[in-house]
Structure formats: C-alpha cells, structure tokens
C-alpha cells in the first residue's frame, strides 16, 4: 500500500509540494514523489516572482518541469498561488500603480498563467493569506491599490481563464475555529453571496507539534466550511518538531497527522491532503523556524517516518 493508493481508495488524494531543484537532481526525491503521491503542487515555481519576473517576461521552465512530471505520473495538480503578498516581482512592488493599471496587470497575470495550464491543474490557490494574524484584511499592495475588490476580481479572472478549475482561498492558522477562521468564513460567505466562483477553502496546516490546534475546533471548522457548500483541502501540511527530534516526538507527530487525516475523512467535503514537501531534507521548516525541523513524512535519509505509517495505518472503515 502507498499513500497514493490510500488517497485513491479514499477519494482524498495525498499530495506533496515540489521544488524543481531536488526534482531534477535527486533520484530518491522523484522516486518517492512518483510512487507515494497522487497530487503535486509547485512549492515556488508558479508564484508571481519566480514565474513572471518582468512585465511580459515569463519563466515557465521550473513550473513546466513539475507539470510534466505530474502528467507523466498521472498525478493531479494544485496551482499555487495566483495572488499573494510574498515573492512578488520588483516590477509589481516597485511600480507606480493606480487602481486600473494594477488591476489590469493582475488580470493579465492570472489569465496567462491559468490558461497555460488549463486542463492540467485541477485546483488553484487563487488568493493566498488575505486575512492577517489579527483576523483583519491584510494590507497588501493588492488591497491598498486595487481595493477590497481585488479578491473577487482574482477569482473571476481565474474562472474565465479555466471554467473547469476548482478555485480556492488558501490560508494558515485557521485550521480550527477561531477569530481568523471566522474571518475567512465571513469572507467566503460574502464572495458566495456575490456569486463569485469560489469552490473551497485551503487550510495550509503548517502545524507545530508543541502547539497543535484543538481537534474539536478543527472538526467544527471543517463542518462550517461544508455548511457553506465548500470543499476543504489540506494544502501545505507539515508538523514541525522542536529539536531534538526524539522517538516520542515522532510518535506524537504521527498521531497528529493521523488525527487531521481522520477529521478530513469524517468531514466528507475534504478533497485533498497535501504535505508541504516530499521529505525533511527539502523542507522550508529549518530555514524559517530556528530550532525546529522534521515536519514531513520522510526523514532526511528519505526513510518513511512514523507519520507516514500512521497515515497508511491499520485498515480503516471505508467512508
Ligand atoms: O530562488 C532563489 C535563489 O535564486 C536565491 O539564490 C536564494 C537565496 O536568496 O533564494 C531563492 O529563493 C527562495 C525560495 O524560497 C526558493 O528556494 C526565497 O529566498 C525564499 O524566501 C523562498 O521561501 C519560500 C517561502 O514560501 C517564501 O515565503 C519557501 O520555499 C516556501 O516553502 C514557502 O511556502 C509558503 C507558501 O507558498 C504559502 N504558505 C506559507 C509557506 C511557507 O512560508
């Protein structure tokens, strides 16, 4: 049994974020990726800065390589991400914009990227992290210059470019019910009321083992998303461990991964379970969280960890 077979059996594809470098340079990386994961997403290659470095100039090489790998291996794809405040190119952050010119630039960016991968990317993170850590609209360049309507515009542009793609709002720190999750649900409900083509909420699930969400709060939040008629996808799962990594912490990490997956299965509207990387040797965690590591399902020697085995675990009652 592989994670890929598990995902296919349960209708919740298990996926991984992919970095173009290791994909091309590390045989163990791409062997695990092809064998174990039924869905891939680009960790960085489709973000605006990397893929659209100058007006009218596109750098599709890395994104195309990942899309081609997924096609060769019959894997689904999530597109990440069309509108974000990070990893923006200087021509955006340093430009002299007015509302109409930036709105046009954003529409052209989205249209070009979504059209290029039409039919190969099943779901897009259209807008990423538009709600800040205080549950307020994040004051990004998009919101400052275009206004709050940038979110609706982005979804409509993406839908026009590929009417078959599922369109998600994606964020972190909102896995369990709470102020930020509440704000995201209000945002989603407003978009739906206005007939905006929003199909789901992406819960990034960048978790810390020493600060896990309340699982009953996660169950509540998944139910509220379902009650809005929306899908939910776990989009960037890692469960970082404060060093030193010990067998007890790895067992606790396995329990957390299994609980989240069980909640997704129970929710009934969960349609993807994506980890933010193939293995610990190619993870963003140690570079961004000093003193933490080991957030993924395969260790630095590309061996399956307890969290991997917990996901496969003893046979479960089929949904
Ligand atoms: O590609 C350049 C390289 O040319 C340069 O030499 C090097 C040193 O400056 O930087 C490289 O770019 C880095 C890029 O990752 C690719 O490795 C950026 O500096 C670095 O900031 C960037 O980090 C990414 C981070 O988003 C940026 O905020 C992480 O890899 C990526 O895992 C992380 O992913 C985000 C999701 O997109 C959204 N959710 C949160 C998640 C974690 O922040």
CB of 204 sitting under 6 A from ligand 1: yes
Atom of ligand 1 nearest to the CA of 17: 32
Asked whether residue 165 carries a pLDDT value surpassing 70, the answer given is yes
The model carries a pTM of 0.97
> Residue 47: is the preceding peptide bond cis (ω within 30°)?
no
Paired with 169 in beta bridges are: 127, 201
The string of pLDDT tens digits covering residues 127-156 is 999 999 999 999 999 999 999 999 999 999
- What does 239-291 look like in DSSP terms, one character per residue? EEEESSP-HHHHHHHHHHHHHHHHHHHHHS-EEEEEESSSSGGG-SHHHHSTT
What structural domains and CATH numbers belong to the chain?
3-311 (3.20.20.80)
CB of 86 sitting under 6 A from ligand 1: yes
The string of pLDDT tens digits covering residues 231-255 is 999 999 999 999 999 999 999 999 9
Contact 249, 241 (CB under 8 A): yes
Asked whether residue 316 carries a pLDDT value surpassing 70, the answer given is no
Residue 196 has a pLDDT of 98
Residue 313 has a pLDDT of 76
Residue 314 has a pLDDT of 67
CB of 101 sitting under 6 A from ligand 1: no
Question: What average pLDDT does the chain have?
Answer: 97
The string of pLDDT tens digits covering residues 208-234 is 999 999 999 999 999 999 999 999 999
Residue 40 has a pLDDT of 98
Ligand 1 center from residue 44 Cα (angstroms): 6
Residue 315 has a pLDDT of 56
Asked whether residue 319 carries a pLDDT value surpassing 50, the answer given is no
Ligand 1 center from residue 46 Cα (angstroms): 12
Choose which residue among 22, 43, 44, 48 to substitute to test ligand 1 binding: the one with the highest number of ligand atoms within 8 A of its C-beta.
Answer: 44
Catalytic residues: 129, 236
- What does 41-101 look like in DSSP terms, one character per residue? EESSTTSHHHH--BTTB---HHHHHHHHHHHHTT-EEEEEEEE-SSS--HHHHTS---HHH
The string of pLDDT tens digits covering residues 38-91 is 999 999 999 999 999 999 999 999 999 999 999 999 999 999 999 999 999 999
CB of 236 sitting under 6 A from ligand 1: yes
């Amino acid at each position: 049994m592989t994670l890929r077979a598990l995902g296919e059996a349960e209708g919740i594809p298990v996926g991984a974020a992919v970095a173009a470098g290791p994909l091309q340079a590390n045989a163990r990386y791409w062997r695990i990726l092809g064998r174990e994961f039924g869905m891939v997403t680009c960790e960085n290659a489709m973000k605006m800065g990397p893929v659209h470095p100058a007006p009218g100039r596109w750098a599709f090489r890395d994104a195309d390589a990942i899309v081609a790998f997924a096609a060769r291996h019959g894997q689904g794809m999530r597109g990440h991400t069309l509108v974000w405040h990070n990893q923006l190119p200087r021509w955006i952050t340093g430009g002299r914009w007015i509302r109409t010119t930036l709105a046009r630039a954003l529409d052209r960016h989205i249209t070009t990227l979504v059209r290029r991968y039409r039919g190969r990317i099943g779901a897009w993170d259209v807008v990423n992290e538009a709600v800040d850590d205080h549950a307020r609209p994040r004051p990004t360049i998009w919101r400052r210059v275009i206004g709050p309507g940038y979110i609706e515009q982005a979804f409509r542009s993406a839908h026009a470019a590929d009417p078959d793609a599922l369109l998600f709002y994606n964020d972190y720190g909102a896995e369990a019910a709470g102020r930020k999750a509440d704000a995201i649900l209000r945002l989603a409900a407003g978009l739906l009321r206005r007939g905006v083509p929003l199909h789901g909420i992406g819960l990034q699930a960048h978790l810390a083992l020493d600060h896990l969400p309340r699982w009953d709060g996660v169950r509540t939040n998944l139910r509220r998303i379902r009650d809005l008629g929306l899908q939910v996808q776990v989009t960037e799962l890692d469960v970082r461990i404060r060093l030193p990594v010990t067998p007890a912490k790895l067992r606790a990490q396995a329990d957390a991964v299994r609980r989240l997956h069980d909640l997704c299965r129970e929710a009934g509207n969960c349609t993807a379970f994506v980890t933010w990387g193939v293995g610990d040797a190619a993870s963003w965690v140690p570079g961004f969280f000093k003193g933490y590591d080991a957030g993924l399902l395969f260790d630095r020697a590309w061996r399956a960890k307890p969290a991997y085995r917990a996901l496969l675990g003893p046979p479960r009652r089929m949904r």
